[in-house]
Amino acid sequence: MSKDTAKDTDNPNLTSSNDASMAAKSPDSVTFALAQSHFLVGDITGNAEKMRTLALQAREQGADVIVFPELALLGYPPQDLLLRPSLSGRVKSALSSLSDIDDIVMIVGYPHVDHHGTFNSAAILHNGHQKGFYHKQILPNYGVFDERRYFDKGRNQVLFDYKGITIGLLICEDLWEKGPIAELKKQGADLIVCLNASPFEIEKQDNRKTMLAKRSRENDLPIIYLNAVGGQDDLVFDGGSMAVQADGSVAHEASRFMNQLMLATFDVKTAKFDTQAKAPLSLSRESEMYQALVVGLRDYVNLSGFSGIIVGLSGGIDSALTLCIAVDALGADKVYAVMMPYEYTSQISLEDAQAQARRLNVSYTVCPIFDAVEGIRHTLAPLFSKSPVDTTEENIQARARGVVLMALSNKFGHLVITTGNKSEIAVGYSTLYGDMAGGFDVLKDVYKTQVYKLASYRNRLEDTPVIPERVIVRPPSAELSPGQEDQDNLPEYDVLDGILMSYIDEDMGYQDIVDKGFDADLVARVIKMVDNNEFKRAQAPIGTKISHKAFGRERRFPLVNKWSIKG
Pairing between strand 363-366 and 335-339? parallel
Task: Quote the Cα angle for 454-458-460, to 5°.
Answer: 115
Helix spans in 61-110 (H): 87-97
Task: Quote the Cα angle for 474-490-531, to 5°.
Answer: 140
- For 69-214, strand residue ranges (E) read 105-114, 117-126, 129-135, 159-162, 165-171, 191-196
Do 239 and 256 meet the contact criterion of CB atoms below 8 Å apart? yes
Of 327, 329, 333, 318, nearest in space to 293 by CA: 329
Output phi, psi for 236, to 5 deg.
-130, 130
Catalytic residue among 131, 147, 163, 172: 172
Catalytic residue among 70, 201, 424, 479: 70
Of 126, 168, 130, 95, nearest in space to 17 by CA: 126
Q: How far apart are CA 185 and CA 490, in angstroms?
A: 56
3-class DSSP state of 427: helix
Q: How far apart are CA 111 and CA 78, in angstroms?
A: 10
Q: How far apart are CA 47 and CA 41, in angstroms?
A: 9
List, in sequence order, every residue forming a beta bridge with 192; answer none if it has no partner.
168, 223
Q: How far apart are CA 418 and CA 440, in angstroms?
A: 6
Strand order from edge to edge, sheet including 309-312: 363-366, 335-339, 309-312, 415-418, 440-441
Tell me if residue 70 is catalytic. Answer: yes
Q: How far apart are CA 61 and CA 541, in angstroms?
A: 44
Q: DSSP letter at 384?
A: H
Q: How far apart are CA 183 and CA 297, in angstroms?
A: 41
Do 529 and 427 meet the contact criterion of CB atoms below 8 Å apart? yes
Residue type at 202 in one-letter notation: I
Do 502 and 515 meet the contact criterion of CB atoms below 8 Å apart? no
Tell me if residue 136 is catalytic. Answer: yes
How far from chain centre, in Å, is Cα 550? 11
Catalytic residue among 50, 131, 136, 204: 136
How far from chain centre, in Å, is Cα 545? 6
Pairing between strand 29-36 and 260-267? antiparallel
Q: Which residues are catalytic?
A: 70, 136, 172
